[in-house]
Structure 1
Amino acid sequence: MNEHVQAATTEPLFNPLAPEFIRDPYPSYERLRNTDPMHITPFGSFLASRHAEVSLVLRDKRFGKDFVERTTRRYGPKIMEEPVFRSMRHWMLQQDPPDHTRLRGLVVKAFTARRVEDMRPRIQAIVDETLDRIAPSGHMDLIEDFAFRLPVTIICDMLGIPPEHREVFYTSSRNGGRLLDPVPLSPAEIAEANTGNVAAQMYFQQLFELRRKNPGDDLTTQLVQAEEDGSKLSNEELTGNIILLFGAGHETTVNLIGNGLLALHRNPDQLALLKANPALITNAIEEFLRYDSSVQMTGRVALEDIDDLGGKKIPKGETVLCLLGSANRDPAVYPDRPDRLDITRPNVRPLSFGGGIHFCLGAQLARIEAEVAIGTLLRRLPDLRLDDAQTPEWRPTFVLRGLKRLPASW
């Protein structure tokens, strides 16, 4: 008996790489919100699990990214010599103003609601083409064969990656997610990430050359021209941000489509409702984002001493990790059974795309991709069934939450 009690009390409140946490983090979140809403992790970061603190940190100018300082703190002074971290330090996602403002300003026009809405027919055509090819076989992996192809094709279109180069992107492994987890990488993982990063840099340098010679109507051409201006963009910034756009442009959307399809099939009443009333798809996507976000966490650093955040003092330089997946199920904001999937839920405003100056550039694109993909799949393969809705195989990462595979038959 005593042994058991001891084990229960030493069990960490937050253990994001434990298999049971990866499978279902939501009971842990509830425990955090109820018992220690500003929890201090073993690595010394503050962990915000309630909606109030999370939404404040995302929007408050007293918090920033401070990437180099934060990473050096965690790994030691030599870490910035590693290619993958040197590349990441240039990502707009990791930058503070004024650099962030300058970098984001160069790409924001490609992601306006108008531009993205104009892509809807192209998105529909890719989904239809994929289903035409696969429908006769009666079986597929919804992740690799369906969810993955659409956003990869669209981001390749946007970046001007020629069709004959794309096969490698369709078949490349999806193992980059660990870079973002709040648990330090091992030397072996850093080495693997470096290899991937160097390969990506080599490819994109060739693409830049191609677009200098043959400009196109694409983001790469636009950024190459900004780089030639000299004042706007260095070559390292250009390369780092193209790598960021490529990864961010597909990774999370694959997970949104996969997590949404799993949630529907685990809640047959909601699946039946959506099939009966396809117009609910727009609100359903917001509910999928809230219910099982493909990005579970984002971080900020206190740029000054903060006297009181959820009852804790946050000294300057300390990291606050914001649990988006937990905030999305906070009963303070969603009083009506937040752990239930309800595609008709009113006022769904998930924090899944972040907030403040780093609000996801591709939010509207991801919504439309998921809407077209899921809506079309339900319409065209109405008798599709998941082979195993109860124990699917999750990817072993925490920040980017998604399935490794999701086999289905019809």
Structure 2
Amino acid sequence: MTTLTPGTKQEPAVVTAEFNPFAPGMLADPYAMYRALREHDPIHRSEMMESWVLTRYDDIDAVLMDNRFSSDRTRAETSFSQMMREQQEQYGPMSNAQTMLTSDPPDHTRLRKLVSKAFTPRAVENLRPRIQEIVDFVLAEVGERGKFEIIHDLAYPLPVIVIAEMLGVPPEDRHRFKEWSDTVVATLGGPFTPPEVMEAGRKAIDELAEYFSQIIAERRAEPKEDLISGLIAAEEGGQVLSEDEIFATCILLLIAGNETTTNLIGTSMLALFRNPDQMQLLRETPTLISSAVEELLRYAGPVHGTGRVPKEDVEVAGHTFKPGEMVFTLLAAGNRDPAHYENPEELDITRNPTDHLAFGDGIHFCLGAPLARAEAQIAIGTLVQRFPKLRLLDEEPEWGGT
């Protein structure tokens, strides 16, 4: 049986007058609702989310490219942002440092330059043989069984092994890494997260802090060829990362390099199963794998939206957003905008849509994009080629929130 994250089977989402990310069916198929909003209310006010919701490609890209919008969601004047501020104060070391994800220039510029020195596309390219080794090892174990769980057997272990090795985490600790990552990710629902889940998240952060503090101390005393040593050594204009910034960056890389890639592999394979002509085309023409992954990122990308907060009055498409308002850009809706892509609801692995929004845009364009692409290309390409009779056993997989 091939499943996505553990959860329940769902019918496609019912289109409602207000955008509700928690409506029945949204996990399985949110695109009908996205399409309705894009066609009838592209700058939509969701009272549930206390946010403006954007669904057109050009509007979304305009916001992402405009530095008058802040990535620090705690700046928003909403109850959700107030809860985020309160939660951050309880996260110990995480509350003492900014990350690239939630900071603005000049802090963002400094952090990104420092982290980029230890996280280059060339370094990712050098990882390709090791990624292939991991995929081969995992598939050798499951291939003899005749059937396997793509998520559990491949999409879960691959990214956590890769990011753990990059950071320099010993093999015996990788299972703890995955548990910590899943526990922290479960807290990202903000006001919709149960108190016991938030408490588990705080405990996981504390355990991660203790764990990384020990590794950071070891690397300061005896550097190695790993990412943590690189973060410690990174220097730009006489500036280095603080201890808290190194820790926060490790957490960001752990979660961003784990959860999203797992989901990308899962949703991509499901899309190929549901479009067998495209899977067969990829099998017959393996050189299309790069184009195929770009199209799968557009068609079924793992990150559906991201928030911004205007720092001043900003006009987009005739609408003026006010300081402190939350603006939620639905990347996945923009990626299926017919004003930007021809036949956007169709999966076409020859399209090669390199301008998709799956990794965002502007100064916050995903730093880990080369790694995500490499892992997806190798995992999906190997699966399709190695198992020519690969088929989906359950037409409706089980979905779980992230």
Choose which of 27, 37, 44 in structure 2 pairs with 1:39: 44
Deviates more, 1:200-209 or 1:288-297: 200-209
**In structure 1, distance between residues paired with 2:192 and 2:283:** 43
Residue of structure 2 equivalent to 1:19: 24
Deviations 1:171-210 (A, max 9, x none): 6673544544476534333223212221221211121122
Summarize the Cα distance change of 1:30–1:172 in structure 2 as closer, same or farther, 3 Å threshold.
same
**In structure 1, distance between residues paired with 2:96 and 2:384:** 38
The aligned runs of 1:297-376 (5 Å cut-off) are 297-306=305-314, 308-335=315-342, 337-376=343-382
- Following TM superposition, by how much is the alpha carbon of 1:104 offset from its aligned partner in structure 2, in angstroms? 1.1
* Alignment check: 8 A CA contact 1:62 1:302 kept: yes
**In structure 1, distance between residues paired with 2:239 and 2:295:** 42
What letter corresponds to residue 27 of structure 2 in structure 1?
Answer: I
The unaligned stretches of length 5 or more in structure 1 are: 1-7, 398-410
Q: Residue 144 of structure 2: SS of its match in structure 1?
A: helix
* Alignment check: 8 A CA contact 1:17 1:396 kept: no
* Alignment check: 8 A CA contact 1:110 1:219 kept: yes
**In structure 2, distance between residues paired with 1:104 and 1:259:** 29
**In structure 2, distance between residues paired with 1:321 and 1:95:** 17
Q: Residue 117 of structure 2: SS of its match in structure 1?
A: helix
Choose which of 274, 286, 292 in structure 1 pairs with 2:294: 286
* Alignment check: 8 A CA contact 2:70 2:310 kept: yes
* Alignment check: 8 A CA contact 1:26 1:326 kept: yes
Task: Give % identity.
Answer: 45
Q: Residue 328 of structure 2: SS of its match in structure 1?
A: strand
- Asked if 1:210 is matched to 2:218, the reply is yes
Residue of structure 2 equivalent to 1:393: 398
Deviations 1:63-116 (A, max 9, x none): 112344338853256444221794496222011111111111111133322221
What letter corresponds to residue 285 of structure 1 in structure 2?
Answer: V
- Asked if 1:139 is matched to 2:147, the reply is yes
- Following TM superposition, by how much is the alpha carbon of 1:323 offset from its aligned partner in structure 2, in angstroms? 0.3
Deviates more, 1:118-127 or 1:320-329: 118-127
Q: Residue 76 of structure 2: SS of its match in structure 1?
A: helix
Deviates more, 1:88-97 or 1:326-335: 88-97
What letter corresponds to residue 118 of structure 2 in structure 1?
Answer: A
What letter corresponds to residue 329 of structure 1 in structure 2?
Answer: R
- Following TM superposition, by how much is the alpha carbon of 1:355 offset from its aligned partner in structure 2, in angstroms? 0.8
**In structure 2, distance between residues paired with 1:214 and 1:165:** 20
Residue of structure 2 equivalent to 1:221: 229
Residue of structure 2 equivalent to 1:404: none
Summarize the Cα distance change of 1:257–1:37 in structure 2 as closer, same or farther, 3 Å threshold.
same
Residue of structure 2 equivalent to 1:75: 82
* Alignment check: 8 A CA contact 2:99 2:249 kept: yes
**In structure 1, distance between residues paired with 2:333 and 2:365:** 18
**In structure 2, distance between residues paired with 1:24 and 1:313:** 31
**In structure 2, distance between residues paired with 1:280 and 1:117:** 18
Q: What's the TM-score, normalizing by structure 1?
A: 0.87
**In structure 2, distance between residues paired with 1:247 and 1:84:** 18
**In structure 2, distance between residues paired with 1:12 and 1:185:** 24
Q: Residue 25 of structure 2: SS of its match in structure 1?
A: helix
Summarize the Cα distance change of 1:352–1:383 in structure 2 as closer, same or farther, 3 Å threshold.
same
Q: What's the TM-score, normalizing by structure 2?
A: 0.89
Q: Residue 393 of structure 1: SS of its match in structure 2?
A: coil
Deviations 1:98-151 (A, max 9, x none): 111111111113332222112111111111111112211212211121112221
Deviates more, 1:206-215 or 1:69-78: 69-78
- Following TM superposition, by how much is the alpha carbon of 1:214 offset from its aligned partner in structure 2, in angstroms? 2.4
